[in-house]
Amino acid sequence: MSVLNLTAVSLGKKIQAGELSAVEATQEVLAQVERVEKDVHSYVSYDGEAALKRAKEVQQLIDEKKLTHPLAGVPVAIKDNMCTKGVTTTCSSKILSNFVPPYSSTAVEKLEAAGAIMIGKTNMDEFAMGSTTETSAYGITRNPWNLDHVPGGSSGGSCAAVAANEAIYALGSDTGGSIRQPSSFCGVTGIKPTYGTVSRFGLIAYGSSLDQIGPVAKDVRDCATILSTISGYDSKDSTSIKREDYDFNQYLGQDIKGLRIGVPKGYFKEGLDKEVADHVLSLAKTLEAQGAVVEEFDLSLVEYAIPAYYVIADAEASSNLERFDGVKYGYRAKEYNGLHDMIKKSRSQGFGPEVKRRIMLGSFVLSSGYYDAYYLKALRTKALIVKAFDEAFAKYDVILAPAAPTTAPKIGSSLADPIKMYLGDIYTISVNLAGLPGITVPVGKDKNGLPIGAQLIGNRFREDVLFKAAYAYEQTKTYEMCDLAQKGVN
Ligand code: GLN
């Protein structure tokens, strides 16, 4: 069986058992990158030579029994907003085109300690602002299921890489849905953990109060194993949290009898594609047959989540992106007249249109005359959304929702209308505002063969319920690979 058919955990097992070497696994993945990358463009950059060198070192440690982690020797793709020591980290922006970080993000360091082999850095919307991976300064990524469609965003490169077998698993980041929505569009599994579970140290900030790193993989077990590896308290991130449970594999296979699933009525009304709705609801039926109790309820304030999110995220972004001034690192304009002109030109030339729009919007809502009217109001709305979820979780263990209102749109159709694109985040962003965990699992395909994902949302620190429910559902399905991903598989 080809390496490309395997999940991360099953590949790791074969490597530990000596059936395969880390070098062979890496070679197969690199060959697949050579075959499909020109069509998909999952990566901003990749380095086959470095990956093979690393695979040899890791294999030696495995041979010496010094590396026994389940992910040792398994090839991974990293979203290009996570700092990687000595490896260019661009955030898919021109302004960071030449940025080589002197340190790695904590999540990447933890994967490296586990013996992961990094293939490359994945494409994304510039500074993670977008829902299609079309705002990247380095070209678009295509959906491996249909190259005329977007992979979603902003972790579109990571999700496309996993779907196209250009990596066995990947890391993404999620500020308002950027793991869950592209996972849905690309037919893979992705989880955004509870805020504070994975360190944000070395993750280039977009909206600091919302950003979380999480796994993208072929199945729920992989996600549990990856999350167990990258999570943990980190004194370098002041929002990092000490949890009791970091072994998420223990929840797989637990009985779901009596699990209370809440289905927000308002989520399944107008605006949601009928095929998406039917497939998402089929997950509830499957779990009901296994003993779960499904009930509809009203999750209020849904319609206020989008404006609140875009005010808060953009406010934080405008402040976070102040540091890119052409002085300390990154792109600097070639010609300028004094310091102010240098900063102005570097930023004007270095940032793309979507990032500029957000910086302007964010600066506006934070400005003295409008702070109360917009920013403060958004924070109050956020508090009400948190309360609405708290009330829901008093009654339910898990909430079932779509990850996006449609399947992947055609390339070029979203950017023309940014407001419409923002509205597409309706099912994911309130989860970030409330700091909750959410997992997307593939549930089927639409009539055009594009994947549909369902989202399970849990209460804070209740990833246990998500893993239990998602795993129980997954046992009733088989993972489906797209034609393109099968190119190199035999
Ligand atoms: N689409 C949302 C935005 O543009 C979410 C992006 C994200 O989660 N990084 O802000």
Name the active-site residue from 10, 131, 136, 154: 154
What is the rounded CA–CA span in Å between residue 287 and residue 36? 36
Rounded mean pLDDT, 149-171: 98
Rounded mean pLDDT, 375-394: 97
Whether residue 426 has its Cβ less than 6 Å from ligand 1:
no
Cβ 462 vs Cβ 195: under 8 Å: no
Question: Using one digit for the tens of pLDDT, what is the confidence trace for 63-75?
Answer: 999 999 999 999 9
Question: Using one digit for the tens of pLDDT, what is the confidence trace for 74-123?
Answer: 999 999 999 999 999 999 999 999 999 999 999 999 999 999 999 999 99
Instruction: Give pTM, 2 decimals.
Output: 0.97
Q: Which atom of ligand 1 is nearest to the CA of 210?
A: 8
Known catalytic residue at 199: no
| Per-residue confidence (pLDDT) for residue 86, from 0 to 100 | 98
| Per-residue confidence (pLDDT) for residue 423, from 0 to 100 | 83
Residue 301: pLDDT over 90: no
* pLDDT band with cut points at 50, 70 and 90 for residue 447: very high
Token pair listed for 269? 């009304």
Name the active-site residue from 79, 94, 110, 382: 79
Whether residue 318 has its Cβ less than 6 Å from ligand 1:
no
Q: What is the DSSP letter of 223?
A: H
Known catalytic residue at 274: no
Rounded distance from Cα 451 to ligand 1 centre (Å): 20
| Domain map (residue ranges) of the chain | 3-262+394-486
Whether residue 399 has its Cβ less than 6 Å from ligand 1:
no
Fold for the domain defined by 3-262+394-486: Amidase signature (AS) enzymes (3.90.1300)
Pocket test for ligand 1, best of 125, 192, 355, 426 (most atoms within 8 A of CB): 125
Residue with CA closest to ligand 1 atom 10? 129
Rounded distance from Cα 72 to ligand 1 centre (Å): 31
| Per-residue confidence (pLDDT) for residue 303, from 0 to 100 | 81
Pocket test for ligand 1, best of 92, 181, 206, 358 (most atoms within 8 A of CB): 206
Assign 215 to helix, strand or coil.
strand
Residue 249: pLDDT over 80: yes
Question: Using one digit for the tens of pLDDT, what is the confidence trace for 319-328?
Answer: 999 999 999 9
Q: Which of 35-49, 230-244, 300-314, 338-352 has the lowest mean pLDDT?
A: 300-314
* pLDDT band with cut points at 50, 70 and 90 for residue 490: low
Rounded mean pLDDT, 195-203: 98
What is the rounded CA–CA span in Å between residue 245 and residue 242? 9
Known catalytic residue at 468: no
Question: Using one digit for the tens of pLDDT, what is the confidence trace for 394-443?
Answer: 999 999 999 999 999 999 998 888 787 888 899 999 999 999 999 999 99
Question: Using one digit for the tens of pLDDT, what is the confidence trace for 360-373?
Answer: 999 999 999 999 99
Report the mean per-residue pLDDT for the chain.
96
What is the rounded CA–CA span in Å between residue 365 and residue 373? 8
DSSP one-letter string for 49-82? HHHHHHHHHHHHHHHTT----TTTT-EEEEETTB
Whether residue 313 has its Cβ less than 6 Å from ligand 1:
yes
Whether residue 314 has its Cβ less than 6 Å from ligand 1:
no
Rounded mean pLDDT, 192-202: 98
DSSP one-letter string for 95-154? GGTT---SS--HHHHHHHHTT-EEEEEE--SGGG--SSS-S-TT----BTTBTTB---SS
Q: Which atom of ligand 1 is nearest to the CA of 310?
A: 10
What is the rounded CA–CA span in Å between residue 336 and residue 280? 54
Residue 1: pLDDT over 80: no
β-strand partners of 468: none
Question: Using one digit for the tens of pLDDT, what is the confidence trace for 454-484?
Answer: 999 999 999 999 999 999 999 999 888 999 9
Peptide bond into 209 cis (omega under 30): no
| Per-residue confidence (pLDDT) for residue 163, from 0 to 100 | 98
